[in-house]
Amino acid sequence: MIDIRLARENPDVVTAALARRGVDPAEVQRLLDADSRARQAVGRRDELRSKVKELSRQVGEARRADDRARAAALAEQSRALGEEESALDTEAGAAQAEVREMLLLLPNLPSDEAPDGEDDDDNLVVRRWPGTARRYGDHQRVPHWDVGAALGILDLERGAKLSGSMFPLYRGAGAQLIRSLTAFALDHHADAYQEIRPPTLVRTETMVSTGHLPKFADDAYHLERDDLWAIPTAEVPLTSMYRDEILDEADLPVRLTAGTACYRREAGSAGRDTRGLLRVHEFDKVELFAYATAGQSPAEHAAMVGRAEALLQELDLEYRVVDLCTGSLGNASARTFDLEVYAPGCDMWLEVSSVSWCTDYQSRRANIRYRGAGSAGAGSGGQPVFVHTLNGSAVAWARVWAALVENGRQPDGSVVLPSALAPYLRGRTVIEAPANPAP
C-alpha cells in the first residue's frame, strides 16, 4: 500500500501520480477525509483514555485517604467517561479500518520513468531479439494445439474432461518438455538465487500482502472450507516469507527463486485468446524474487530482466521487451517490463515474463523492514524502514511450450527443440509422432 504519511504531507504529489494510473483524484480526497476522521477519533479517544487514567489515580488517592464519598463520585465519573471512551474506541477502529480498506485498494505510485498511457496500445517496445525479424516457413505456421494433438503430446480434451476447459493435459514428450523447462530455469538461477519450494495454498493475509486481495479475489481460487487460496504465482508466498520481520541490511538483497504450479480463474476471459495454451487456469512457472533496499532496486530490476532474456535466447525464441505504460501496470508495480515471444503458428506475441519493481508497496502490507545503522536508507540511528520487493517470471511455461512447439516444427511434422534442453530431456531434442499412439 502507499505511504499514508506521504498522502497527508504531499497530497498533490500523490494525486498527480495516481492520476497517471487513471485513479480519480476524488479517490485520494476520500482517503484523506477518512484519514482525518480516523485521526480525530483516535485523538478524542486517547484524550478520554488519559482522563480515565487520571480519574483512576484520583480514586486510589481518595480511597487511601478514606474519603469514600469522593472515591465513589470519582469512580462514577470514571465509569461514564469509560463508556464514552469505549464508544470512541469503536468509532476510531471503524475509521482506521476504512482507511486501511481504501489503502488496500489503491494501486502503487508509478515510477517517474514509467511511460504514460491508458492501455496496452500505449506500451513501448524497447528492444527485440534478434535484431532482425525472423522469417518463418509454412510448416511453422501451424498452431501448437494442432501440432500437440498430431504428435500426441497435448491432450486438451482429456484435460477438460478431468477439470474443465483451460486445464491442459500434457502427454509423453509434452510432459517431459514442461518438466525440463522448470529444471533448466532453476539451474540457471542457482548461482545467485536460493531455490525455495513454497506451499501453493496460502492464507488470506499472504494474498493480501502482495496486493492480490482484496481487489482481485474474483481471479483467484479460494478453498472456503479451510480459508486457503491457490497461489496465482510464487511471488505470493515468497513475498510473505519474512512477513512481520526485520531484516539486516547487510543481508540484502535477498534473492529467491521457486518453481511452482500457479492457478488463475481468468475471470472475464471468455472468448479472449483462450485456445490451446494461450490462457489457462493452471500452469507451471519459475519465479524470481528479491528483497532489496531502494538503492539496490534499479540494478536488481535490470538484472532480473536480463536473466529472463538470457533464458529466451538460450531457447532461441524471438522476443521483444515491452515497457508497460502506467495504465497497464499491475496494481502493486511501479515499473514493469514484459517479455513477449513470437509464436508463428498463432501469429501472436505471447507474454511469458513480467518483471516488476514494487517499491515498498508490498512490504508495507506485509510489514517487512530492514535495519542498518549508518545506512542512508535506514534513517538516523538505524531505524527500520520498509524493504523494496521485486519479482519476475523466469518464465511461464505454457506459452513458452507453445512457442517452442510452433518454432521447432519441421516440414515432416516433427518438432526440434533447442539443444540447451538436451540435458533435461535425456539427450533427445526431437519429438516425433509415436509409432503406436496412446489411446
pLDDT, tens only, 282-327: 999 999 999 999 999 999 999 999 999 999 999 999 999 999 999 9
- Residues 213, 206: Cα–Cα separation, whole Å: 9
Residues whose CB falls within 8 Å of the CB of residue 143, separated by 6 or more in sequence, listed in order: 275, 276, 345, 346, 406
The pLDDT of residue 380 is above 50? no
What pTM was estimated for this model as a whole?
0.92
Class of domain 120-431: alpha beta
What is the rounded CA–CA span in Å between residue 92 and residue 94? Answer: 5
Q: Residue 269: is its pLDDT beyond 90?
A: no
Instruction: Name the one residue in this structure whose C-alpha cell is 485520494.
Output: 28
Around Cβ 265, how many Cβ atoms within 10 Å? Answer: 17
Q: What is the C-alpha to C-alpha distance for residues 40 and 51, in angstroms, rounded to an integer?
A: 17
Of the options 3.30.365.10, 3.50.50.60, 1.10.287.40, 3.40.630.30, the CATH number for the domain spanning 4-105: 1.10.287.40
Phi, psi of 128 (to 5 degrees): -130, 155
Q: Across-strand partners of 60?
A: none
For 234-244, the pLDDT digits (tens) are 999 999 999 99
Residue 381's pLDDT band (cuts 50, 70, 90) = low
| Every domain range in the chain assigned CATH 3.30.930.10 | 120-431
pLDDT band at 382 (very low <50, low <70, confident <90, very high): confident
pLDDT of 379 > 90? The answer is no
pLDDT in tens, 418-432: 999 999 999 999 999
For residue 267, is pLDDT > 90? Answer: no
Q: Per-residue pLDDT for 135 more than 70? A: yes
Please tell me what DSSP assigns to residue 274: -
Please compute the mean of the pLDDT values over residues 408-423 and round it to a whole number.
98
**For residue 378, is pLDDT > 70?**
no
CA angle 182, 302, 248 (to 5 degrees): 85
The CA distance from 28 to 18, in Å, is: 8
Residue-wise pLDDT for 244-261, tens only, equals 999 999 999 999 999 999
Q: What is the mean pLDDT of the chain?
A: 94
Mean pLDDT for the stretch of residues 90-103 = 93
Q: What percent of the chain has pLDDT above 90?
A: 85
**In this structure, are residues 152 and 434 in contact, taking their beta carbons and an 8 Å threshold?**
yes
391 neighbors 332 (Cβ within 8 angstroms): no
> Where residue 266 falls among pLDDT bands split at 50, 70, 90?
confident
Phi, psi of 59 (to 5 degrees): -60, -45
What does the pLDDT look like over 48-92, one tens digit per residue?
889 989 988 998 998 999 999 998 998 888 888 888 888 888 988
| Degrees to nearest 5, angle at CA 233 with 257 and 362 | 85
- The pLDDT tens digits for 386-403 are 999 999 998 889 999 999
Residue 52: per-residue pLDDT: 87
Angle of CA points 217, 219, 224, to nearest 5°: 55
End-to-end CA distance of the chain: 52
Size of the chain, expressed as the number of residues it contains:
439
Neighbours of 189 (CB within 10 A): 22
Question: Within the chain, which residue ranges are assigned CATH 1.10.287.40?
Answer: 4-105
Helices (H), 65-120: 68-105
Give 250's Cβ-side CA count (13 Å radius).
Answer: 3
Per-residue confidence band for 439, with pLDDT thresholds at 50, 70 and 90: confident
In this predicted structure, what is the pLDDT of residue 226?
97
- Residue 58, number of CB atoms within 10 A of its CB: 16
Task: Convert the pLDDT of each residue in 31-59 to its tens digit.
Answer: 999 999 999 999 998 998 899 899 889 98
Question: Which residue type sits at 200?
Answer: T
- Check residue 271 and give its pLDDT: 59
Write phi, then psi, for 105 (nearest 5 degrees).
Answer: -95, -25
| pLDDT, average across residues 96-109 | 96
Mean pLDDT of the 177-187 span: 97
Percent of the chain scoring above 70 in pLDDT: 97
